[in-house]
Structure 1
Amino acid sequence: MKRLTVAALGIALLILVAGNTFGEEYMSKAKRWMDRTIGGGGAILASDGIQASHALVIDAANGKTLYSKNERERAYPASTTKILTGLLALELGKPDELVTVGEEVAPEDPEESRAGLRPGQRLKLFDLVEAALLPSGNDAARSIAVYIGRKAAGNPKLGIREAQLEFVKLMNKRAKKAGATHSNFVNATGLHERKHYSTAQDLALIAKEAMNNKLFRQAVQPASYTAAVQTSANPSAKLQLTNTNLLLQPGGANYLKEATGIKTGFTDQAGYCLVSSASKDGKQVIVVVLQSTNKDVYPDARKLLQQGLEKASRPAK
């Protein structure tokens, strides 16, 4: 074992020299080899049975990596994008602000997930965030983007497309502030676009920031939520929202009582994705699973959450 370690360290020096010549892509591949060879990255969980192509477990208290698998490789985030969308809404707006949704709620894809919003409806910003996060409403996410984009630009009459582009700028700026420097977001929903990508590591960093926000934590935890929706015909209408995160649905096969969030995602290109969190005895972990399958995404996440909680640091007394 000592010989292997010494040899690996020697090769690491050669990799460092070669990396200066061949660039970042070479270094990234070389690092993954080193991780497999001498256990780099501080990962301490078993990898057996994880089917997702990309995965990461971090201790939410200190950011320590507990398990990693292709965590720095690009992947499509699908609707886990809405973690960033919801966080920006709650950071740049007030939860009780009334938002009137417009034509941006019209479907951009006939099969996209929707909360059921219609033009002219008015609802509180927090309820709009719930509509984006729980049922993964693309209509709600676009409404957030338009509202916050106009607000940031100081122009309430800014066009729908222009407002969304303003919001995208905010997304990328906020992602970088969180340390997510290997992502590029081009929409608020996660609908597939080739230049819309992230990594498991970046999504974990964004999720960690989001879960430090009290209102965001509150938004992602319920199994269901009733939003108040004002219309001209009915000023006290209700919109029932159901969380697509099966970790939070009591009685289901995938329910995990320690789970506290966060967001599901799926497109044909991204596969099944889940950014999840759990808390037990004061310990908190965040798990990112990308490009899994319908059959494996929850077993992947549950196993990593449970193992992560066993290995995470106990809070200081």
Structure 2
Amino acid sequence: MKKLVAVSTILVIINTLFVSAVFSKTVAPSLPIISSEAAIVMEATTGQVLYEKNARSQMYPASVTKIATAIYAIENGNLTDIVTVSQKARNTEGTRVYLEEGEQVTLEKLLLGLLVNSGNDAGVAIAEHISGSVELFASDLNLYLKDAVGLRNTNFENPHGLFNLQHVTTAEDLAKLTKYAMKNEKFMEIFGTKELPWNGESWDTTLYTHHKLLREKPYDGVTGGKNGFVPESGVTLVTTAERENLNLIVVTLKSSSEAEAYNDTVQLLDFGFDNFETSSIPTNSSFFVGDVEYNTPREIVYTHPAGEQVAIEVKEDGKLRITDQDGTLLSSYQFPVNRNSEKNRSSIQKDSGSFLEQVFSNSLYLSVIVVSVLSLLYYQVRKKQ
């Protein structure tokens, strides 16, 4: 009896260890503690948000506004256009590339001055060339950001980010904007430029990017960035970086100092690269729901905690869902209706119905015959009695 109890105890312990090993969850990574008032980490390929802090709170962006100005001008202007600098552009305050009134510069060169040296005068020259005035440019830009990019919490009053009470955005919107802009090769070429010879009417020099993780304190994998500052916004910073299969966007807003903004950004980049990875479902992968077959028309990518298994399933409505161990939706895809499979299923259902009707009909007919025979036999037996 004692041996039986001992064996039972051992089996219970083994079973407990097995169940714990199978169902234990990956330990969640420790969230970074940052000082910036708002921040977000987004994976650029999938759009998956890996970290956020006050990401939907409206704040003043300062010069990271120029990301919007640049991608709008690239998509709606001609880079070889010759732009004549106005007096208003020449007299713009703040950081400049020292354009002179009447100076003629290509739109592409102005975009380089805008992003590499954060030239406010270049921003005004671009706005006047594209839309005719700063005011009309702001109106056009806001429509573009809403309709083309899908931003909902952004309103820009100028092309450069100098303070205006109504000039606001969010960390989330800036990440979405950067994700959109990153698809443009010309934008990324300029966004990642570290130094640039500049020959102008009043200024011959070499421009160096103001983003320190690109040049002064290089961070492995950084592909581009833009910084900003006005007293009302504090230090603002947008950074893109790529390693292997992970492409990150980090936005920090309202940092009290440059050191704080860069320290937070490095922490957030480390957090993303150390704890997440991007996987994919290949093109033409097949999924079956009953007799219906679905095939992926393209590669479906998703970002998830590194080393963690995910659940992939297709519902009856043809919606593919990818969830993590906690059941959190990581990505989804709606398959178009498979008409052939639907037709086959309807045909099968129809044939099945016809078969059942025939069986039922034949069974009823057979029952009538059986009852008739039994009745006849019963009558014969009674007659003999």
TM-score higher than 0.5: yes
Pick from 277, 280, 296: which aligns with 2:260? 296
Tell me, yes or no, if structure 1 residue 128 matches structure 2 residue 113. Answer: no
Pick from 40, 54, 61: which aligns with 1:70? 54
Give the whole-Å Cα distance in 2 for the aligned partners of 1:285 and 1:164: 32
8 A contact 2:175–2:250 mirrored in 1: yes
The corresponding residue for 1:35 is none
The superposition leaves residues 162-185 of structure 1 with CA deviations (integer Å, 9 ceiling, x where unpaired) of x11111112111211312101111
Tell me, yes or no, if structure 1 residue 208 matches structure 2 residue 193. Answer: no
Give the whole-Å Cα distance in 2 for the aligned partners of 1:311 and 1:164: 43
The corresponding residue for 1:194 is 165
**Structure 2 unpaired stretches of 5+:** 1-27, 283-385
Q: Percent identity?
A: 32
The corresponding residue for 1:50 is 34
Task: State the shift of 1:242 in Å.
Answer: 1.6
Change (3 A) 1:96 1:282: farther
Give the secondary-structure state (helix, strand or coil) at the position aligned to 1:132: helix
The corresponding residue for 1:160 is none
Q: Which amino acid aligns with 2:142?
A: N
Give the whole-Å Cα distance in 2 for the aligned partners of 1:199 and 1:219: 23
Give the secondary-structure state (helix, strand or coil) at the position aligned to 1:170: helix
Q: Which amino acid aligns with 2:211?
A: N
- Name segments (4+ residues, structure 1) moved above 6 Å: none
Task: State the shift of 1:281 in Å.
Answer: 1.1
8 A contact 1:180–1:202 mirrored in 2: yes
Task: State the shift of 1:87 in Å.
Answer: 0.6
The corresponding residue for 2:154 is 183
Give the whole-Å Cα distance in 2 for the aligned partners of 1:119 and 1:86: 22
Change (3 A) 1:239 1:101: farther
Task: State the shift of 1:313 in Å.
Answer: 3.6
Q: Which amino acid aligns with 1:223?
A: K
8 A contact 2:246–2:273 mirrored in 1: yes
Tell which structure's C-alpha radius of gyration is larger.
2
TM-score by length of 1: 0.75
The superposition leaves residues 97-151 of structure 1 with CA deviations (integer Å, 9 ceiling, x where unpaired) of 2212121223444xx111221112222211100101111110011111111113x
The superposition leaves residues 182-201 of structure 1 with CA deviations (integer Å, 9 ceiling, x where unpaired) of 11111111000101100000
**1:96-111 matched pairs, under 5 angstroms:** 96-109=80-93
Q: Which amino acid aligns with 1:244?
A: H
Task: State the shift of 1:309 in Å.
Answer: 2.6
Give the whole-Å Cα distance in 2 for the aligned partners of 1:222 and 1:288: 19
Tell me, yes or no, if structure 1 residue 247 matches structure 2 residue 229. Answer: no
Bigger proportion of residues as strand: 2
Give the whole-Å Cα distance in 2 for the aligned partners of 1:65 and 1:102: 42
Give the whole-Å Cα distance in 1 for the aligned partners of 2:104 and 2:275: 45
Q: Which amino acid aligns with 1:306?
A: D
8 A contact 1:266–1:272 mirrored in 2: yes
Task: State the shift of 1:255 in Å.
Answer: 1.9
The corresponding residue for 2:222 is 259
The corresponding residue for 2:353 is none
Pick from 120, 123, 138: which aligns with 1:141? 123
Give the whole-Å Cα distance in 1 for the aligned partners of 2:140 and 2:37: 29
**Structure 1 unpaired stretches of 5+:** 1-43, 151-162
- Higher RCO, Cα 8 Å, sep 6+: 1
CA RMSD in angstroms comes to: 1.9
Give the whole-Å Cα distance in 2 for the aligned partners of 1:60 and 1:311: 16
Task: State the shift of 1:73 in Å.
Answer: 0.5
Number of residue-to-residue matches in the alignment: 252
Give the secondary-structure state (helix, strand or coil) at the position aligned to 2:213: helix
8 A contact 1:59–1:312 mirrored in 2: no
The corresponding residue for 1:310 is 274
